[in-house]
Structure 1
């Protein structure tokens, strides 16, 4: 009986220690620790957590600060810091919700532009993926719903607070978002070519030209319009699109050395597929048009390719000793 009681005691102590080690019960401990503290002392404790990048504890204490001192001196500042702490912890949805709440409750606050800014950052962060930090990915191929939301948020920030200290960074991010949205429209147009929806493809190209001027996707928008109108047998509209393309973007890959748009070449595959070879050309697969000139007109893509080229040249110049010793004897 004594052994059974001893085993139950050890088991209960182990469970208690395990729950504490896993972090369960932290909220109760935080509430007990905050009992009897003044608002200033509580806020200073929160600042120490923020400075130590302890976002989980800071978020819990900021929420407690608002519940215990809803009309205190640091209530509104605490709400702004809660938006930031949630953003830094990776809880972007909560950060966006907290920012919307602050904007709704305090539209005339002197720092409401900060709420817009962090909300936009959270929406931009939602557009990224887990492998973005490890592998080169094309963000324009993903769903652009969050990117549209970020574009709207930062546009409102600049329209309402053009002199904000966050305006300069917001403009740079807007350019990146604009280019991503425009490129996504070109991807959709290329997909419409595969489905034979040429009118829909032409509308996407025209949308890019009309709404995303000065973006690197505009040349492809003109090329999409030219190819789609050609397939729709609208020769005049196709010629007009080609004329604008030649006048403004003579280096576009769809133009030959004479400045002519080669419509037919883009309808044929670059090489025979296995189906062509098996059927001796009877079942020749037609490759739908696809336009992507980022290597020519997108500065970021061009610099990345140049950087990869320089890196490959350096690797080619490495000696045999460098390869065998993994760079130790370079």
Structure 2
């Protein structure tokens, strides 16, 4: 990221911190307080507008501008890049005024706040791939827009909400494919197949469905489940003949097949590698080591002489340590 972008972010942060300490005069009446808050919103002075709108609501909770001030406070928080505060204010307004003529606007702003929650100011300057980020906020936004379009199908905000839902659905599907690819790289083929099937079953109409079929095909091939692999492949060829995983009708796996990983590496998604892996002192690793210690202790007596002879021969050839014996060579 360029230095000027870092400086711009620092200036924004300092400006927000300095402008949040504004003192609101006690002599301002309800109308004047609301007028000044409106002027601040028009000038994009959102910190100042927030201070005035909060003062208006606290000083005149039953005044003529109280409900409107609550709505505009949601907007001010949203424009000030405070998504949590915007969502909280929107939820409060919906709870207090479920029959308000503009309650659909509160639902819309709540969805927008979640939509932008994980984007933030850095996303304006960094080339972030949103499909690889935590999908929690995107899922919340989709659900909130869905509430708006279901409860208020004729709302003026419904068309934009529906368009954003299409984008969010595509994003969530693509995120599932990224997770499935991770499982393929870790040779967790059952988990990868389940992710691919989830995309195919729950995200019909998204571009990721073809990727989901490709993931299923590859995972089933790795698992030697030929019937399932062939079914997935035929469905992929029929519906997505131009998919990148197909080369002249032949399936090309996403990940190169590895043949040098032990069952422990696959079972732990690669967290415990059989070669060149640093020793880990986590609870999960201690549990695994304890299992092998117990297995070594419980070996039948008739096998111990044979095992010791084999270990002695291998030790002379490779110089194995006591740690290698203890873990049966898993961490060599």
**What TM-score, normalized to structure 1?**
0.70
1:255 is the counterpart of 2:243: no
Partner of 1:85: 76
1:57 is the counterpart of 2:48: yes
Structure 1 residue 131: deviation in Å? 3.8
Structure 2: runs of 5 or more not aligned: 1-17, 259-332
| CA-to-aligned-CA distance 1:109-135 (integer Å, 9 cap, x gap) | 111111111111111111215443234
Partner of 2:144: 153
The 3 A distance-change label for structure 1 pair 49 and 246 is same
Partner of 2:26: 32
Q: Secondary structure at the match of 2:153?
A: coil
Give the Cα separation in 2 of the matches to 1:25 and 1:105.
Answer: 29
Q: Is the 8 A contact 2:114 2:140 kept in 1?
A: yes
Structure 1 residue 206: deviation in Å? 0.6
Structure 1: runs of 5 or more not aligned: 1-21, 270-330
Q: Is the 8 A contact 2:19 2:47 kept in 1?
A: no
| CA-to-aligned-CA distance 1:203-245 (integer Å, 9 cap, x gap) | 1001111111111111100000111111111111111111111
Give the Cα separation in 1 of the matches to 2:174 and 2:57.
Answer: 43
1:127 is the counterpart of 2:118: yes
Match of 1:187 among 178, 190, 197: 178
Structure 1 residue 266: deviation in Å? 4.6
Partner of 2:301: none
The 3 A distance-change label for structure 1 pair 229 and 210 is same
1:240 is the counterpart of 2:231: yes
Structure 1 residue 25: deviation in Å? 5.7
| CA-to-aligned-CA distance 1:164-187 (integer Å, 9 cap, x gap) | 101111111111111110011001
Q: Cα RMSD (Å) of the superposition?
A: 1.9
Counterparts of 1:1-330 in structure 2 under 5 Å?
Answer: 26-27=22-23, 30-34=24-28, 37=29, 39-257=30-248, 259-263=249-253, 266-267=255-256
Give the Cα separation in 2 of the matches to 1:127 and 1:90.
Answer: 11
Give the Cα separation in 2 of the matches to 1:97 and 1:43.
Answer: 22
Runs of 4+ in 1 over 6 A off after TM superposition: none
Q: Is the 8 A contact 2:138 2:172 kept in 1?
A: yes
The 3 A distance-change label for structure 1 pair 179 and 193 is same
Query: How many aligned residue pairs are there?
Result: 242
The 3 A distance-change label for structure 1 pair 60 and 262 is closer
Give the Cα separation in 2 of the matches to 1:25 and 1:111.
Answer: 31
The 3 A distance-change label for structure 1 pair 25 and 135 is closer
| CA-to-aligned-CA distance 1:38-60 (integer Å, 9 cap, x gap) | x2232222212211211111111
